[in-house]
Amino acid sequence: MAQWHGESVRGVAHAWPVALAIAALVAFAKLRATATWLWAGLALGSLAGGAWAIWQKLIEGSRRVEGHEPFNAILYGNLGLLLGLLCLAGLGWAWSRQARWRWSLLMVAGGLSGLLISALSGTRGGWIGLPLAAWVLYRGHVSRMSVRWRLGLLSTLLLLMAAAYLVPQTGVAERVENARVGVERYFTGDDDMNSISARVEMWKGAVELIGERPMTGWGMAGYRTLMIERSEEGRQDPLLRRFWHAHNDALDAWVKRGLPGLLALLGLYVTPLWLFARGIGSGSGERRSLAVAGTLLAVAFIDFGLTYSLLAYPAGGWIYALLLVLFWGLYRQAR
């Protein structure tokens, strides 16, 4: 579809991470790999990201931590949350190791670090899917524990949530209040643009453009041009002309790539859910952890894509495609 809209090399640039993922998938059919490097890398990456977030918050005084260019607070917060959830998914693998306590503590530390990144970034969109992510983790790991352990984990989780909300330095309470006020202002007809009303207006604009070209879409350049024209004609707030994606992955894929783009995106979402979900409640600790991680990967990106076009960024496509293949290749090899 990028070629259809004359985007040439730029369109291919957004697809090459998937091509690399296909090459990696073929390689997994010939080579055997150990999952140790994957889980250790996820945990250490999450801890490094958490340390950087703490530095930005306490030393640099950032209101919302955002990593570094080309990331922003939303990208950094969502990907940090993803790392944290994947670390928690690895607990089944960690507990099956000989040094179970050391590996388990590392994975728990990585999980908490990822949650901290999300809290300090103030990225509210990622928080929407936490109940579903918690349910996946429960089915994969917690449901196998004794009642005492379940109650202990639930109490710990509630304490962490309360601490994140009540401690002013995290900014969680402020972001939640801003969201409440934003929704209230939008439905009362307040003209002041905020993150809530901006998203709703962008979604409206994308839906109108989809209605005009549902099959082929407008392409990246066409979408950007038409959104600028809508601002100049007074059909939407002029502040929205600077945004180049629809802040929703499904709408962004459809408005730019047409119906084929939407179907491809849905395939990328549904296929891993279908493949991995069957292994969540059964199998060895290693295999079950990979099934939970693969399911969480799809669940997290669906969640992130509700309020932001994460897959519009090359980094988003890279991370989703390569992690998906790594989880699936190791899952197929696990006993």
Question: What residue segments make up the domains of the chain, in order of their start?
Answer: 21-333
Q: Alpha-carbon distance 180 to 218, whole Å?
A: 34
pLDDT at position 271, please?
92
Angle at 294 between CA 290 and CA 298, to 5 degrees: 165
Taking Cα atoms as reference points, which of 281, 296, 292, 277 lies closest to residue 93?
Answer: 292
Residue 112 corresponds to which tokens in the numbers above? Answer: 């908490």
Q: How many residues does the chain have?
A: 335
The DSSP string of 131-188 is HHHHHHHHHHTGGGS-HHHHHHHHHHHHHHHHHHHH-GGG-HHHHHHHHHHHHHHHHT
**Start-end of H helices in 4-129:** 8-28, 36-54, 73-89, 91-95, 100-121
Q: Is 253 exposed, middle or buried (0-12, 13-18, 19+ CB in 10 A)?
A: buried
Residue 98 corresponds to which tokens in the numbers above? Answer: 């000989």
pLDDT at position 83, please?
96
Low pLDDT (below 50) residues in the chain: none
pLDDT at position 145, please?
66
pLDDT at position 191, please?
64
CB 120 within 8 A of CB 170: yes
Q: 205-212, long-range: CB within 8 Å, 24+ apart, which pairs?
A: 205/230, 205/235, 205/236, 205/240, 205/246, 206/246, 206/248, 206/251, 206/252, 206/254, 206/255, 207/251, 209/255, 210/251, 210/254, 210/255
pLDDT at position 243, please?
86
pLDDT at position 190, please?
64
Q: Alpha-carbon distance 28 to 79, whole Å?
A: 25
pLDDT at position 155, please?
78
Q: Alpha-carbon distance 12 to 219, whole Å?
A: 13
Residue 69 corresponds to which tokens in the numbers above? Answer: 């260019």
pLDDT at position 186, please?
65
CA-to-CA dists, residue 102 to 44, 233, 299, angstroms: 13, 61, 28
CB 269 within 8 A of CB 291: no
pLDDT at position 116, please?
92
CB 285 within 8 A of CB 144: no
CB 127 within 8 A of CB 119: no
